[in-house]
Structure 1
C-alpha cells in the first residue's frame, strides 16, 4: 500500500478498479456478536493461529469448555472472531471467519463480530493475515500478556483501530482470488499426504 497523489492505493490490483482505498475504523463496518440461544449441542470451537478454527475435541482430545460453555458465543457462518492471544506466529492475535460450520459455539473471551454491507468478512480476515493491523494493535497493548495468555485488548479498543478498505466489489474480488489459492494449496497438501501414505505402504511391502 502506498500513497499516490495523496491517495492510498495498492501496488497491484485487478483491472477496472481505480478508486483509492479509504481509511475507516473497524467499528464503522462491523457489529458485535455476543451471547447464545441456550443450545449446547453445537460444535465447540477454538482458534489456532496456524490452522484457524478447530473443534475442541480434535485439538484437545475432548471438550474443554466445561461449565463455561453456557457463556460461549453463538457464531454463525460468515461471522468472525479475534483471538487476542499472544503466540509465536501471531504476536498480536489472529482473526478467522467461520466457514466450515453453519453455527458454532466459541469462547466468550474472543472478540466476535460480523461485517456490515460495506465489508467482506473474508477480506477482513485476509487483511489481518497481512499483519498490517498489528501496527494499530500494538498501540493498544498496555502491558504484556495476561496469565491466560490473552493480550490486554478490550473489544471497544479493538474495533476502534484504523483499517484501509477498497470498495466492497474490490474486496470480494480480492478475497475470492485468495480463497481460490487457499483451495488449490489445500488440494496439493491432500495429494502430498496421499503420496506419503502410498510410499509408506510400499516401504512396508517391499522391504523385509
Structure 2
C-alpha cells in the first residue's frame, strides 16, 4: 500500500511540474507562439546558447512564431530568435522477441495421432511476438540566429516523434529560405540607397 501511495505521489509531482512549466511558458510568451513543444536539453553548451537556466529543469518549452523563428521565452534570453536549418536524428530502437509455445497442443496431438501428431501439434502451437521499443537519443539541431550571423548546433534528447515534428514544422523549407533571401537582398538594397 505504501508503494502505491509513493508511485501516485511521484506521478502527481511530474504532472504538477509539467503543468507549472507549461503555464510559465504561456505567461512569458505574450501570444507570439503559434506552436510550442517540450525539449529536453542535453548538453551544457546548448543551455548556454539559448540561455537556459540549469537550476530550473532540463525540460524547456520552445515556441515557434509566424516567421518560423524558434525561441525560449522562459530562458534568460527570451528575445533571442533562431531559425532551424537542419535536424539530424538517428532513432534508438530495441527489439524483443518473445516466443510462446503450447505444450498442450503437442500432448493432444501425440495422444490422438502418435509421434507425428505431437510434432505437428508442437510446431503449430508456437507464437512469436516482436516488440519494438524506442528510447531517447541525441538529436542535433543546426540553427542560425535571426540576423543570419551566428550558427550553432543544439543537442537535445528526443524520440522520433519530436525529431519529426522539429524537422516537419519548425525547420525552414526551401520556400522559407527563398523568402529570407529576398528579404535580405531588400535590406542590402535599402542600405545602398
TM-score, structure 2 as length reference = 0.23
- Highest relative contact order (Cα 8 Å, sep 6+), 1 or 2? 1
| Larger proportion of strand | 2
| Larger proportion of helix | 2
